[in-house]
Amino acid sequence: MMILLIYSATYVPFETAFIENPSASAAVFEMIVTVYFICDVLINFISAYETNDKNIEFRFSQIAQNYLYSWFLLDAFSCVPF
């Protein structure tokens, strides 16, 4: 995940600024990266988290609510292909 984040932070702005027509392989790789980030958002909806009182929360409704109120908007925005 960290490698894909570094890739997205470095290559995507470069491609946007300087490359008019990316190659087919680059476009396919971009789609794979986007799908990976979308899968990460879906996994975050079912991943347990640690509460403030150091307990692990396993209830899906609480996990989803916590994610929606914390990182969901930023993660969802980052998954939108441009």
Q: What is the pLDDT of residues 6-26, one digit of tens each?
A: 998 999 899 989 998 989 999
Residue 78 pLDDT class (50, 70, 90 cuts): confident
63 Cβ neighbours under 8 A, 6+ residues apart: 45, 46, 47, 48, 49, 57
Residue 21 one-letter amino acid: N
pLDDT average, residue stretch 47-55: 95
Which pLDDT does position 12 carry in this prediction?
86
Number of domains in the chain: 1
* pLDDT at residue 80 greater than cutoff 90: no
Write down the pLDDT at residue 79: 86
Banded pLDDT at 82 (limits 50, 70, 90): low
Show the domain range for 51. Answer: 2-13+22-79
